[in-house]
Structure 1
Amino acid sequence: MELQQLHYFQTVARLEHMTKAAEELRIAQPSLSKTIARLEDDLGVPLFERQHRQIKLNRFGELFLNRVERIFMEIYEGKREIREALNLEEHTIRMAVTIPRVLPDLVGSFLKENPHVRFQQFVHSMAVMKEQLKNGEVDYCISSIPLEDDEDIVWEPLMTEEIFLIVPPGHWLEDRDEIDLIEVKDEPFISMNTGYGLRNLTDEICLQAGFSPVISFEGDEPGVIGDLVRQGLGIAFIPAISWMNRRTPFPHKIRIKSPTCVRTIGLGWSKRRHFTRTAKEFHPFMINYFHHIGKKLNQL
Structure 2
Amino acid sequence: MELNKLNSPFELLLCSTDLSLIQESVAAGVDAVMVEWENVEGDRSPILTSEMVKTLEQVRSVTDAWVICRLNPYYERTLAELELAIANKVDEIWLPKVQSVEEVVKVLNWSEGRVKVGIVVETVEAMNLSPKLAELPLHRVHIGLNDLAESLDNPHPFCTLIDGTVEKILQNFTISSGFGGLTLPEKGHPIPCHLLMGELIRLGCRFSLLRRSFIADIQNRNLSEVILRIKNFLSQVSERSSQACEIDRLEFVELVQGLIRGDK
Relative to the length of structure 2, the TM-score reads: 0.25
Relative to the length of structure 1, the TM-score reads: 0.23
